[in-house]
C-alpha cells in the first residue's frame, strides 16, 4: 500500500513535500521564460467550477536507472487525444489526490506496485483544455513494470529515462497556430510558443512538459 514516508533515492532527489517555495519559483520562471498563454490557462486564477484531478508521476527503478511511465492517449479521445501524459484523472467523491492518482494509474496501466512510496506533490495546475485543476503526485517503486493497458484510455505506454529528462539538448522551443472562433466560424488565428521535450518519435509538451520541467528542476539539491 502507498505510504507517505520519504524514501532515499540513488539520485539527488529530496522529498517534494519540503519544496513548496522552490516549486512556486520554478513554475513561475518556467511560465515567464518559455510558455505563451500561461497566465489564465495554466498559471492564472482558477475558475470556481474547475474540476479536481490528479496524476501519478512514478519514478520506477529498473535495476540500472530511474524511468517515468507516460501514456500516449488514443486519438479518438475528446480531450488531449494523441498526446502524451501521466496516468491520471478526476477525483471521485471522497477521494484524496493521492488515492485518485494511484487508482487512475492502476486503471490505465493495470498495476499498483507493492512497494509504492509517495514522495510528495508538485504544484497544482489548471489545465485549460479539460478544465481540470491537476495535482501531480510523485512516487517511487523498484518493482518491475508489467503493464496491462486499458485500450480505451491508453494507446501506448512510454518509459522516459531520467537521463533523457535531464538532457537539455532534448528540450526545444516550438510554436503553434490556433484558430479563433466566433459563432462557430473561424475569424482569426493566434500563435503561441511552448517548450517541449523530444524523446525519439514522441513530442511531450503542454501540461505534461511543464510538470516534467518542474520535476527536473526540484529533483536536484
Nearest to 210 by CA among 77, 55, 102, 60: 55
What distances in angstroms separate CA 173 from CA 86, 104, 135, 149, 156, one per listed residue? Answer: 21, 31, 25, 31, 25
pLDDT at 25: 44
Q: What is the CATH number of the domain that holds 119?
A: 3.90.79.10
In this prediction the pTM is 0.77
Q: Is residue 11 one of the residues assigned to a domain?
A: no
Predicted local confidence at residue 55, as pLDDT: 96
Domain-embedded: residue 8: no
Give CA–CA dist 137/162, Å, rounded. 17
In a domain, 157, yes or no: yes
pLDDT digits (tens, 9 = 90+) for 37-55: 554 455 566 777 778 999 9
Is 171 among the domain residues? Answer: yes
Domain assignment present for residue 6? The answer is no
Q: Is residue 182 part of a domain?
A: yes
Give the cell for residue 183: 459563432
- Evaluate whether residue 152 is within a structural domain: yes
Give the range of the structural domain holding residue 88, as residue numbers without chain letter. 16-217
Residues 57/213, Cβ–Cβ less than 8 Å: no
pLDDT for res 100: 97
Q: Measured between alpha carbons, how far is residue 120 from residues 2, 80, 117, 136, 157 in Å?
A: 12, 26, 9, 9, 23
Q: Which residues of the chain have pLDDT under 50?
A: 1-34, 39-40, 220-221
Q: How many folded domains does the chain comprise?
A: 1
Kindly state whether residue 62 falls inside one of the protein's structural domains: yes
Amino acid at each position: 500500500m502507498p505510504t507517505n514516508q520519504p524514501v532515499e533515492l540513488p539520485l539527488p532527489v529530496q522529498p517534494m513535500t519540503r519544496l513548496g517555495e522552490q516549486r512556486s519559483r520554478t513554475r513561475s520562471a518556467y511560465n515567464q521564460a518559455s510558455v505563451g498563454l500561461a497566465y489564465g490557462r495554466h498559471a492564472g486564477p482558477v475558475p470556481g467550477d474547475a474540476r479536481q484531478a490528479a496524476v501519478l508521476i512514478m519514478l520506477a527503478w529498473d535495476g540500472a536507472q530511474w524511468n517515468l511511465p507516460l501514456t500516449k492517449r488514443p486519438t479518438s479521445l475528446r480531450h488531449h487525444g494523441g498526446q502524451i501524459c501521466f496516468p491520471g484523472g478526476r477525483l471521485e467523491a471522497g477521494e484524496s489526490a493521492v488515492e485518485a492518482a494511484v487508482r487512475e494509474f492502476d486503471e490505465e496501466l493495470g498495476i499498483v506496485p507493492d512497494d509504492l512510496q509517495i514522495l510528495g506533490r508538485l504544484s497544482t495546475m489548471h489545465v485549460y483544455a479539460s478544465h481540470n485543476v491537476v495535482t501531480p503526485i510523485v512516487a517511487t517503486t523498484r518493482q518491475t513494470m508489467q503493464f496491462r493497458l486499458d485500450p480505451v484510455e491508453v494507446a501506448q505506454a512510454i518509459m522516459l529515462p531520467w537521463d533523457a529528462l535531464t538532457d537539455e539538448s532534448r528540450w526545444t522551443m516550438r510554436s503553434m497556430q490556433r484558430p479563433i472562433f466566433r459563432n462557430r466560424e473561424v475569424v482569426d488565428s493566434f500563435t503561441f510558443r511552448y517548450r517541449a521535450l523530444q524523446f525519439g518519435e514522441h513530442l511531450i509538451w503542454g501540461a505534461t512538459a511543464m510538470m516534467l520541467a518542474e520535476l527536473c528542476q526540484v529533483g536536484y539539491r
